[in-house]
Amino acid sequence: MMRRDFVKTTVSAGVAAAALVDNEHSQRLRDIVMSAQLGIPLFLVIALVAERREHWNLPDTSGLILRLAGAGLLIAYGVSRPCHLDATDWLLFSQLNVGLHLLVTVLPFARRGETRGMWQFNLALLLRFLTAAFFSAVLYGGLSLALLALAKLLGVGIDDMVYAQLWCLIAFVFNTAYFLVGVPERLEDLDRIDTQPRLVRIFAQYILSPLVVVYLAILLAYLVKVLTTAVWPSGWIGYLVSSVAAVGLLSLLLLKPDLERDDRRWVRIYARLFHILMVPAVAMLILAISKRIGQYGVTEMRYFLVVLTIWLAVVVVVGCFRRRLLLKAIPASLCLLAFLTAFGPLSVYSVSHRSQLDRLDGLLAAQSRFISGMIVAGESEVSSEDGREISG
């Protein structure tokens, strides 16, 4: 019964999104879609926690309390949206989405132990998500082609918006409903499963691992170039380090069962070398970020990059000294960071706003246009470079 709220939320999101296609300026529909979309992972994690209440010795009323609290949070989020959303509003929406999806992966297994069960659970979610995405794409392509045939061959009038509405219904209703069917029912049984799909091992061992080796070789070559030319690392290095970190950690997470097997020694060597070789990459990333912040201050994206760099540095250092991968700590810490940096005076939005405001004050003061807290007119003309900086 608890999972019905999850289904109702997906249907509400799909219907509201389809209606929003016809009325794109409707603030109410937009807020319903955003709240319902956040409700999909929220009600799923509530359902999973409620199903484990006996395992955690929670009262029978815990499910109802969580459902009411979740509904209240979604309503509060929806009514608090401004009339016109800017880039930071969409960034916060994405941030909450990431945090809630990470919560699904880790909260049902928050108690000590059950590491194997958590690995099996998230592997099932990953495979089900990929299958649902593939089926949804095929279904949308087939139905779109059928609609196009009706319009071209039989002369049936079909509005172009129908294709977008069809995609909304398939993406929210069919895709999510199909995914839900594949979510494991008895989570306590997963810890007794000691199997690893052969396809997953092949993908991690022969696809992801070689990619990591290529990325690390490029990073090491770039490190040699930086040391020989004494040139600061390029800001573009953040993309490469982020890519190698994501691919490398994903490969290690998929190979987690092999890390604990004595006959898979190469996996432990690969994991240790990955963490060691990531140390200079993280150091170069820190240098690149510090240079950009010193020049242009803190922005939302630079704040995220700083937080993720610190997180990656901790993961890399810990991985250099530990034999086993911290399976729970990786998604749990990312989930915590997603929520901690979303609200309050230390949030990404508050810090970046203060940084850019201080930078603006400094630029205006340097041009004698900011005196005693007031913006005043100046006698000399602002240079084109300073003008671009102030405008930015």
Write out pLDDT tens, residues 7-49: 677 777 778 888 887 777 778 888 888 888 898 899 889 888 8
Please say if the pLDDT value at position 97 is more than 90. Answer: yes
Question: In the chain, what's the furthest Cα-to-Cα distance?
Answer: 77
Spell out the domain ranges in the chain. 4-191, 196-340, 348-391
pLDDT at 127 (0 to 100):
92
Residue range 353-364: mean pLDDT, rounded: 82
| Cα distance from N-terminal residue to C-terminal residue, the chain | 52
Q: What is the mean pLDDT of residues 163-170?
A: 88
pLDDT at 117: 86
- Stretch 99-125: mean pLDDT: 88
pLDDT at 16: 80
- What local confidence, expressed as pLDDT, does residue 129 receive? 93
